[in-house]
Each structure stands twice: as structure tokens, then as C-alpha cells.
Structure 1
Amino acid sequence: MTLSVDLETCSHPLLAQLVALRDEGVRMEQALETELAAVSPEFHASARNFLHYLAIRQHDIRPLQRDLAALGLSSLGVLESHVMASLNAVTARLEDIRGQDETEKPEPPVDFVTGLGLLQSHADLLLGTPNDGREVRIMVTLPSEAAQDRELIRALIHSGMEVARINCAHDDAEAWKTMARHVREEAFAQGKTCRVQIDLAGPKSRTGKLRALGHMLKIKPERDFRGQVLREGLLWVTPATHPVSYAASGLKPAGANESVACLLFAGEGLDTLGEGDALELRDARGRLRSARVLRVNAHGCLLGFDSVALIEDSAELRSTHKHKPHLRGTLAGAPEVQEELRLCMDDTLVLTRAELPGQAAEVDAAGRVLEPARLHCSLEAAFVDARAGQAVWLDDGRIGARIERMNAETIELRITYAAPEGSRLKAEKGINFPDTYFHVPALTEKDVQDLEAMHAHCDLVAFSFVREPADVALLQSHLARLQANHLGIVLKIENRQAFENLPRLLLAGMRSPQLGVMVARGDLAVELGFERLSEVQEEIIWLCEAAHVPVIWATQILENMAKSGAPSRPEVTDAAMSIRAECVMLNKGPHIVSALDFLIRVLARMEGHYSKRMATLRKLSIAGSVKGV
């Protein structure tokens, strides 16, 4: 059966729709002429293209796309980086089909080549040129140890880190400056470039400390399925009078973990130890535990335990050799052990404004609650702006709640979502108020101080808790005051207001010569709902591509591998999809170098298949399995 298509008849309404879309783009550009005039020259063409895209995305053009595809024309499915050029090209083709003269068309700000080129050049300027011919850059969050462990930074840069991220929510300015200096020096030594990004902490919304039960460190050996010790549990012991971390000690025994627990020793005889010496201590359970000296130098000794040891502060460490110099002293510096808070469905949790240690619910012998669980919330604005009936999520969405009642000092929550056996809640976990609009500056006094301390030591400033254009203008004004306008700005999209205001945030950000967007997927999932995360991250990528603004894909990329050394299947697929962004962020973990190496291999394979959302048809090895074609 042969079907005939009257192309001239079909193309007439399509041509009218295309012209209408094109005209709307022009009108939006004219209506926002004032905003365009404030944009940095580097982003002027990009801002015009962005406005054209916004005009189109105010309509559902799926029927138009289907009709264009039926005629064998472009369905406008990948027009983000060159909107007007795409509309003009398809319009010209339809005019040709109808046999009419080509009409005058608006001059596009970018064409099919320059649009993609602007996105690439903006990414290179902000994030640096990728190493090893890759298209996607890799950012790595530096742990606190990076201030002492220069070898870690050397390994990360050698493996392919292009941006080092310093989180200003932890450590202090001296540690951050040391990290930045190590990055600069190691990159120079290896003949590579590596940007330094600081993340301003913003207004913290976290749980406070729980009631302390004591201080204890657990040392645990690694065993096989028969219970035989494969690797001893490691403990670095260093003098309390002049402590040196294991990372800075210069000792790196083969097979050791990348991070080693440390305790301080007060006593005598530490400097007399030699490799192979036997020591012992009595742990928190009263059990005698033996250890042997694996490595030793002037900074301390590395001990190996073949049994689990629960070491409390003030535990006595002594030598067992009768014919060797005597070692005897006490250990200190074990981490604080806090009370566990376990919450179940319908439980009550009281958030307190006062910074008091949290505690579990008090119950009587019959299990009746006498006093509900209480926990400090670090965000003071919550006690002003939150309202009864609004949702609250804790610990990255693991626990859900609704506000029952509140006053200036407390917020009473009813738990609405938790694991069947209850969910544990610890200190320093995030608290999200997705329904609440906060009247609080996005830049805190601490953020301003951190910016003043670090602006001369970084290349990019990541802006947490940004919600509206005024927030962006505030950061830009501080950068201008510090004569640091050249620094790149990265807008962290991590709450509902930021996502809903993203077009306006991008226009405000384009007043700076360097701009990027970080998709903070963890907080976004909590704020907008996990079921919306995939949709939301796609929309952010589309908008940023239209604005020629590079995207950083963040949160939980290969998190399991960074922590345990082995990736899960879902996170491998997730890592592969990060090819859509200009940069991927890995978080810290004891196996971060291995995770970085693995991610580079995944991206190298995927770059042969994808460029943004456009499939590129490279040669497939399996296609050759069918011969004769």
C-alpha cells in the first residue's frame, strides 16, 4: 500500500506555528531589554538565546514536534544551545516545501556551531580544560586530612581531578589555605591545571549534638569467611605533647587503609619501641587486647590488633616484653559516643532553638512517653518562618515529619515517615523545610568572613542556600568589594525556591563573567520529592544548556565505592549518565582515588556514545557480529 502525503497542505499550519514561536522569542527579548543590558559581555549572546528558549518552553509543542518529524524535518528536540537558528532553519525548509520565497528572519544570537562553542568555552573558563582529552571534568571534595596529607592531593591530581572542592562548613581558613596551596603546587609539579572551589556553608539547618555517653574508639580487624584475620585493625599512637597525624608521619605500610585511627599517648617509653614489639591494653569491656608494633618512627608507632578492641579515653597501654625498656601510659583522643535517637511512625520529636544536647524520649515501665525526644535545630529562622502543617524532612529524607505546633523556642514534629523498625537520627544531619519560605540572608556573617579569607586562594565560589536574584546580587557585591569579580560563581540549586526561580537566578548570575550551576541532587530530592528528581535535574540541564552555563552533577556519585571500595550497580549507571554535565563531583571517602579512576573509565566509554542529549553513532563492536550487511 502506498501513502501519499500532501506536503504543501501539511506544512502550512506548521509554518504558522513556527513563526509564532519565533516571534514570541523576539518579544521576550525586547521585553527584558533592561535585564539583557546588565548581563556581562561574555554572556550577552547566551542570555538572548536563553530568553528565546524560555519563550518556547512556555508552550507544549509536542504535537508540532510529531508533525515535523513526520515530514522528515528536525523535531526541535535538541535546540537548547541554538534556539533561533533552529527555528529559522526549519522555517526555511518549510517555505521551500511550499515553493515560496524565503522570508526575512530574525538574526540569531548564535548558530549551530557557535552555540555549542559558547557552552564549551564557558566551561573551560570556569572549570578548566579537561585532562586526557575528556569532555567531562571531575571535581573532588577534599577531606580534612588533605591539609596534612599532600600525597592524597598528589594522587588525585595524577588520576585526573580537575577541580578541588573545599567545603567551608568544616575545618578553618588555615586548613583551607594549606589545601589550596597543596593543590596549586602539585598541579604545577605534574604540568596540569586544577581549579580550587570553595563552598560557602550558608545558613546551616542541621541537627545538634546528642547527649554524650563517653569517648570510645573501635578498632576492628578484617576477617575472611572462616574468621581468619586478613588484615589487622590499625591504630596510630602519637605523643600527646607533640602529636603528628599518621598521614603526616611519612609511614605508609603496604596494604594499610587510606585512613588510620589516631590516639594520643601520655606516658613514657614510646620512643623506645621497635617493630615487632608486643603491647597490651584492657578495653571498655574489661577484655585484655594485644597489639604489635608494625611501624615506628620519631612521630609515633602504628599498632596492629588481631581482635576487636573498644578503647576508651584513659585506657592504659603497656609493653609485655620483660627484657625490653618499659612502656607505660594512657591513651586519649577517642571520638565522643553520643546517645542514639531512634524515631518511629507517629513519634513526637521536639526541635529546640536552645543549643542543648538532644536526648531520646523518656518512657515509664509500661512504655508510656513521659517526655518526647528533643534535638537542637541550628537554623534559627525556622522558629520564625515555619508554620504548623508544613512538612519537615531529616537526614536526607530518611525521616519525614509534619509540624504539629510551634512557638519561638520549640517546633513539635509528628513523625510521618520512618523505617518499620524505626530510623536512627544522629548529630549534624540535615533538616529540610520544603514548604517554608525563609526570610534570612543567603550569605551569613561567617560566609563573608570565609570569602574575605579565601578569595585570593580560589578560582570558584559555590553559593549555598541561594534562592532569589537578590542573593546573587549580594554575593556579586561582596566580590566587587574584594576586587574579586574575576572569580567564577557556582549557584547550588538545592532547595525548592532556587529551582522555581532558576531562570531569574541564571539571568542574575550572567552579570558575572564566569557562571556555573551545581545540581545538588540530595537536597533537591528531599525538597521536591524523590519521584520528581529525574524530571527536575533534566529541566535544570536544559535551562543551563540554553544559557550556555556549565553544569556540575553532584551528590552521591559513586558514594558506595568511595566509602567501601566497590560500586553498586545502580550507582554505575548513575555515574554513566553524568556524561550529560560539564563536570561531575565526587565526595570524599577512604577509597576516593579508586572511585576517581573508575569514574574516568566509565566516562571515557560513555563519551563515545553521547554528547549532551544527542546520540552520536560511533562504531559498535557488536554490530559486526551480523555479516553481509
Structure 2
Amino acid sequence: MRPIQERLSALGLSSLGRTESHVLTSVNKVLEALHRLAQIPVPECKAPAPINGFEEGRMLLKQHTEALLGPPPAKRNARIMVTMPTEAADDPRLVEQLLANGMDCMRINCAHDDASAWKRMIGHLRDAEQSFGRKCRVLMDLADPKLRTGPIEPGDQVIKWSPRRNLLGQVTAPARIWMFPEKQASAAPSPADACLPVQVSWLDRLTVGDRIVFDDQRGLRCEIRVVESVGQCRWAEAVRTAYVTPGTTLRQRVGKKKQRDTKGCRKTKLGPLPSQEQVLILNVGDTLILTHDKVAGRPAQLDVDNKEIMPAQIGRTLPTIFADVRAGETIWFNDGKIGGVIELVESQQVTVRITQARECGEKLRADKGINLPDSTLRLPALTEKDIRDLPFVAAHADIVGYSFVRDADDVDELEARLHVLGGEHLGIVLKIETRGAFEQLPSLLVASMRTPCDGVMIARGDLAIECGFERLAEVQEQILWICEAAHVQVIWATQVLEGVAKDGLASRAEVSDAVTSQRAECVMLNKGEHIVKALQTLDNILQRMQSHQHKKRSMLRPLELASRFP
């Protein structure tokens, strides 16, 4: 249609650019107008009845949205879904705040927590509904067969502490060190920069004001000062950075001696310290070996000239994928931060050449996502965990989120299992997070239309990796269009106002993204320390924008700017 769209507009006719929910009606109307302009008899329409007219298409989408997500809130059309943090299980006040500030749907990610915690979250919501006199749907998101990196060998047992300094290097706050009996582990009652296990007999003799000296791992003489006693434990403070390991000798200064020898000192040695998390540092051109998940990962081994002797290796979950990948296919790690190409596939390992990472190198940790957009993975959409979780979901949720769905057979399987569990009344939301699911979207929609109500979630995080970040805008546009044509509601998900949720501040790009999100019927927020503020911000944006834009249509409301112009 593109070549004639401008020509249609020049005639004062619809360019057919906003007809998703009533395509055939719009085409027929334009054809009728063209025939009359050309003074040609209008041919009889032979399309099958019924045909959705302009208003019928919009009404169908509205009805389907209300069936899945409930009636719209008082001041906006788009709903807001909020992902529950673990804290929501034991903090009813948090759930109350979310409901009071506009949450329309509670999302519980079944990949986290357990049935006991989920039940408490839902219980807090039902209590809050009674208090505020409004309803809120519950979506339970099944955990997908996520491919992730395996564990990495633990690093050294070393602890570092540093005081806080200003731009001039002056100490503004000393480092706080918690010392406790090594055989009676005691958590620090307040945030500590370091927790040190030492002999109880040595601790008992420490008093406020005592100085403790030691040589740290750099060979530098360091000192800390005791500032508080808490039972058998002690708080100390340091104004210099230090590195300590198990066996570091601590000396308690007695009297006013300042000599470097050990005379006049009482000594102890540090007990076992927690191993530091080890990471793999990967650069473009590096080799990475993927092994079975039972083999602990390790960094690359280098010689004295910093040349690689042994490449870095790391395990991964889902060992059966080795049979589904081929040399030349791309692979991505950690939400697309690290990219590579598979060079060699063997029975016990896969060799990857890193092709994308920051110039300074990118860190790869355990339990980070792996994406294989070019590979056809023979994995079940419903895992054993999903099947164990389904009875709870059927009994307590309103909607089930279907992760890793790929084709119509997957939808049929979920429907069959819900039917057996008495959960055929549940709405189903198809999470479009892989290239395969995007390419099969029309078939998925036809299959899901057999359910009482259905929807689509644009899982933009994984989808961007699978389809390419540069294509994400195009892909999400196509999903919005085809779902509107099917009169199916869309949930806009992943990193919406993430800066507000995590840090309390939004970037300009995040605000623009939130503005665009109002084209969907529902917008999802992820958990974060400032989630209530993120919810308030999104509610405000959606209310302001709905009078300017609906789907792709600009709403010609009176402009404040124009009204001020004489």
C-alpha cells in the first residue's frame, strides 16, 4: 500500500495507515470513495459477513481488555502491572501503597520465591482490595527454561575496606569494621564495610579507644581504632584503605609504645573469610569455553607476558542444548552485553569467540542469561517446575503468563493442563521474547483465541537480543499492529522507568519510552527500591498522554501552547 498512501491523502482520503482494528471496512470505504470520484459504479462487496466496522473493532479490543485485565481505572485507559519483590510477601504496607497509587495488576514471577511467599503476597492484595474498595488482577508468570551461565570457582578470601573521601581526598567518614568471635558468627547490627572473625579471648580484652595495628596484603602498616563494645563483639573504624586475608596478624597496642616490633602487643590471627565472587573478564577476540553446568567456571590462565595459556570457561544450564547449536551461530550473554560466535561444537563443550564487549572488557558472572537467536532449541515451553507450579496458579491467579512460548502446540498444551486443573477460566498472556515466537505470532494468536481471554506481552529485554537491538523498535511496532488487528491487548514490558524504580531518577530516554508505552493496553513496571515513585510517575505520564495519542492516532485536543498564541 505504501506507493499510493500519499496519493490517497492528497485526495482527502484515508491513507489506510491506522486501520488495524477494522481493515476490510476501511479498504471498502476508500474503494467506494475512489469509485465515486472517478464516476465509476461501485462494485458489490463480496466479503464474508460479518465485517468489523470502525466502531466494532475498537469495542472488541476494549471488551477483550476488560475481560483480561478488568475495567479501566478512573483517570486513564492503560492499566499498570507491577512485579512483586520478595519483600511484598512480608510487607502488607508495600502492597497497600502500590494498590493505592494505581496498580491494576499484580505480577508474581514464579522463577523467584515459593508458593508460601506467593500466597502471602496475594493475601496482602486481597486485604488491600477490601480496604480501598477496588479490584486488582493477579498474573502469575511461569518460569521459562532459561539458559544461564553456571557457577564460577570462588575467588580469594580477601576483604577490602576504604573510608569515604571527598574530591580533595579528605576522609569524610571512616570505614566501619565489625569484629566478632570466629566460632560464634554474629551479623553486624548495622551496615559494615568489613566483618572480621577473631579469637574471643582476644576480643574480650579490647576496650574503646584501643588501637589495632597490622600489615595488610600490600605490606603496608595499617591501623584501626575500637569505638564501641557490643557484648563480645567490637566496632572499629579505619581512615586508611586496607586488604586483609585469613591469617592476617592483628596486634592490640598496649600503652603508648609506637615501635614497630611486637613488644607490648597482644596478637591474634584473622579466621576464615568469605570467598569473593569471581568473574570472567572477556574482551573482543577472547575464547570462551562453554562446558556442562557441573564444571565450575574459571578465568583465563595467563603467562608472565600476559598471554593466554588456557581460555576462560564457564558452565551453563540445560545441557541438552549442545545438540541444537551449530558453528557460525551467534550467542549472547548477560542481556546482550557480551556477544560471540560459536566456532566449534563438541560433545562436552562449545568454543565461542567473543565479538562484542566494551573496550575495557566486560564482566561475566554466574547465573547470567544466555541467548541463542540463530539456534533452534528443542526445549519444552513448560518445564517440570512450571508443571509443579500450575496447580497453585490455577487456584490463585487470574492470568497465567506463558514464558518461552514458540508455536500453537505450546498454547494447546497449556490449555489442556489448565483444563485438567480446573483453570480453564484463566486468561493467558503470551510472552513474545524469542525470534521464533515473533515469527509465529499470527498462529499463536489464533490458538490463544480459543481461551476465554488472552493477551500478549512484549518482553523487550530478551526480544531485543534475539532480534537485534537496532530492530527492536520495528519489531514492537509490528506486534502492536497485528495484535490490534486481532483485537488482542498488549502488555508493554521490560525496563519501563527502571531508573526511577531503582535509583529514584529517570532519564529523558526512559520518559520518552514511557510516553510511547501508552499505545499498549497495559504497561509493566519491574521491582525496585523506589517502585512506588515509579508507579506514581508512570500513572501521571499515562494520564497526560492519553488525550494526545491513542494507538497510532493523534488526538487533536486543544493545545495549551496554541491557546496562548494571539
TM-score range, shorter chain: 0.7 to 0.9
Structure 1 residue 100 and structure 2 residue 57: aligned?
Answer: no
Q: CA deviation at 1:94?
A: 2.5
Aligned to 1:142: 84
Q: For 1:307-336, what per-residue CA distance to the aligned partner results, in whole angstroms no more than 9, with x for missing partners?
A: 899999999xxxxxxxxxxxxxxxx9x987
Alignment of 1:155-234 (within 5 A): 155-213=97-155
Contact preservation (8 Å) 2:164, 2:171: yes
Aligned to 2:331: 392
Q: Please, which moves more after superposition, 225-234 or 342-351?
A: 225-234
Structure 1 residue 552 and structure 2 residue 552: aligned?
Answer: no
1:469 to 390, 405, 408: 408
* Change in 2 beyond 3 A, CA 1:365/1:214: closer
Contact preservation (8 Å) 1:219, 1:305: no
The aligned amino acid for 1:425 is: L
Q: CA deviation at 1:367?
A: 1.9
TM-score (norm 1): 0.74
* Change in 2 beyond 3 A, CA 1:452/1:391: same
* Change in 2 beyond 3 A, CA 1:244/1:347: closer
- Structure 1: gaps (5+ residues): 1-60, 247-255, 269-276, 297-302, 316-331
Aligned to 1:82: 22
Aligned to 1:571: 510
Contact preservation (8 Å) 1:162, 1:195: yes
The aligned amino acid for 2:138 is: V
Aligned to 1:448: 387
Number of equivalenced pairs: 525
1:416 to 351, 355, 360: 355
Structure 1 residue 431 and structure 2 residue 370: aligned?
Answer: yes
Q: Find the residue that maps to 1:181 and give its secondary structure.
A: helix
Q: CA deviation at 1:570?
A: 1.0
Contact preservation (8 Å) 1:173, 1:454: no
The aligned amino acid for 1:455 is: A
Contact preservation (8 Å) 1:496, 1:527: yes
Q: CA deviation at 1:74?
A: 0.9
Taking the aligned partners of 1:174 and 1:261, their CA distance within structure 2 comes to 34
Alignment of 1:613-628 (within 5 A): 613-627=552-566
Q: Find the residue that maps to 1:603 and give its secondary structure.
A: helix
Q: Find the residue that maps to 2:518 and give its secondary structure.
A: helix
* Change in 2 beyond 3 A, CA 1:305/1:148: farther
TM-score (norm 2): 0.82
Taking the aligned partners of 1:148 and 1:479, their CA distance within structure 2 comes to 29
Structure 1 residue 489 and structure 2 residue 428: aligned?
Answer: yes
Aligned to 2:31: 91
Q: Find the residue that maps to 1:516 and give its secondary structure.
A: strand
Structure 1 residue 380 and structure 2 residue 322: aligned?
Answer: no
Taking the aligned partners of 1:314 and 1:488, their CA distance within structure 2 comes to 59
Q: CA deviation at 1:567?
A: 0.8
Q: CA deviation at 1:304?
A: 13
Taking the aligned partners of 1:489 and 1:227, their CA distance within structure 2 comes to 57
Aligned to 1:603: 542
Aligned to 1:68: 8
Q: For 1:232-288, what per-residue CA distance to the aligned partner results, in whole angstroms no more than 9, with x for missing partners?
A: 999999xx99x9999xxxxxxxxx9xx99999x9x99xxxxxxxx999999999864
The aligned amino acid for 1:504 is: S
Taking the aligned partners of 2:177 and 2:139, their CA distance within structure 1 comes to 33
Structure 1 residue 112 and structure 2 residue 62: aligned?
Answer: no
Q: Please, which moves more after superposition, 114-123 or 187-196?
A: 187-196
* Change in 2 beyond 3 A, CA 1:260/1:535: farther
* Change in 2 beyond 3 A, CA 1:440/1:313: farther
Q: For 1:324-368, what per-residue CA distance to the aligned partner results, in whole angstroms no more than 9, with x for missing partners?
A: xxxxxxxx9x98731121001111111111423211011121223
The aligned amino acid for 2:18 is: V
Q: Find the residue that maps to 2:358 and give its secondary structure.
A: coil
Taking the aligned partners of 2:133 and 2:389, their CA distance within structure 1 comes to 29
Q: CA deviation at 1:593?
A: 1.2
Taking the aligned partners of 1:492 and 1:345, their CA distance within structure 2 comes to 32
Taking the aligned partners of 1:280 and 1:173, their CA distance within structure 2 comes to 51
1:130 to 72, 93, 98: 72
Structure 1 residue 512 and structure 2 residue 454: aligned?
Answer: no
Aligned to 1:338: 277
The aligned amino acid for 1:194 is: C
Q: For 1:513-555, what per-residue CA distance to the aligned partner results, in whole angstroms no more than 9, with x for missing partners?
A: 1111111111111111111111000000001000111111111
Q: For 1:576-609, what per-residue CA distance to the aligned partner results, in whole angstroms no more than 9, with x for missing partners?
A: 1101111111111111111111111121221121
Taking the aligned partners of 2:163 and 2:135, their CA distance within structure 1 comes to 39
Contact preservation (8 Å) 1:221, 1:229: yes
Contact preservation (8 Å) 2:224, 2:238: no
The aligned amino acid for 2:44 is: T
CA-based RMSD of the aligned residues comes to: 4.0
* Change in 2 beyond 3 A, CA 1:179/1:288: farther
Structure 1 residue 499 and structure 2 residue 441: aligned?
Answer: no
Q: For 1:93-149, what per-residue CA distance to the aligned partner results, in whole angstroms no more than 9, with x for missing partners?
A: 233332635634533432111211111121122122232321111111111121112
* Change in 2 beyond 3 A, CA 1:236/1:408: same
Contact preservation (8 Å) 1:165, 1:198: yes
* Change in 2 beyond 3 A, CA 1:314/1:196: farther
Aligned to 1:321: none
* Change in 2 beyond 3 A, CA 1:70/1:369: same
- Structure 2: gaps (5+ residues): 201-207, 249-270
Taking the aligned partners of 1:444 and 1:165, their CA distance within structure 2 comes to 20
Contact preservation (8 Å) 2:60, 2:487: yes
The aligned amino acid for 1:577 is: T
* Change in 2 beyond 3 A, CA 1:111/1:458: same
Taking the aligned partners of 2:457 and 2:213, their CA distance within structure 1 comes to 49
Alignment of 1:316-327 (within 5 A): none
Q: CA deviation at 1:611?
A: 0.4
Q: CA deviation at 1:230?
A: 9.8
% identical equivalent positions: 45
The aligned amino acid for 2:92 is: R
Taking the aligned partners of 1:75 and 1:614, their CA distance within structure 2 comes to 13
Contact preservation (8 Å) 1:359, 1:373: yes
Contact preservation (8 Å) 2:293, 2:319: no
* Change in 2 beyond 3 A, CA 1:361/1:434: same
The aligned amino acid for 2:103 is: M
Contact preservation (8 Å) 1:392, 1:431: yes
Q: Please, which moves more after superposition, 180-189 or 613-622?
A: 180-189
Contact preservation (8 Å) 2:287, 2:352: yes
Contact preservation (8 Å) 1:362, 1:369: yes
Taking the aligned partners of 1:479 and 1:196, their CA distance within structure 2 comes to 16
* Change in 2 beyond 3 A, CA 1:442/1:614: same
Q: For 1:172-200, what per-residue CA distance to the aligned partner results, in whole angstroms no more than 9, with x for missing partners?
A: 22112221222222222221221111111
